[in-house]
Amino acid sequence: MSERFNKDMTFAQALQAHPEVAKVLRKYNLGCIGCMGAQNESLEQGANAHGLDVNEILKDLNELP
């Protein structure tokens, strides 16, 4: 399966790409839906800011059907 999500995507781009992205982000306690930074912050920046491993998040995102 090819990757649909990458560390350089913004949260907004990821949320627009697939309806289940919000569910994955909630799993990591990332409330990015209402966050002002979601428009400009990359997945990697957000993960780093919250002390999370972006690769784990990307793995879950890219496993979405």
Write down the pTM of the prediction.
0.88
Q: How many domains does the chain have?
A: 1
Q: Whole-angstrom Cα distance, residue 49 to residue 19?
A: 24
pLDDT 10s digits, 20-46: 999 999 999 987 666 676 788 999 999
Tell me phi and psi for residue 10, to 5 degrees.
-80, 160
Specify if 4 maps to a domain.
Answer: no
Residue range(s) defining the domain that contains residue 41: 11-62
Specify if 18 maps to a domain.
Answer: yes
Specify if 15 maps to a domain.
Answer: yes
Rounded to the nearest 5 degrees, what angle is found at the Cα of 19, between the Cα atoms of 17 and 4?
35
3-state SS class at 38: helix
Average pLDDT over residues 2-12: 90
CATH code of the domain in which 43 resides: 1.10.3910.10
Specify if 1 maps to a domain.
Answer: no
pLDDT of 2 reads 60
- At 52, list the tokens: 């999370």
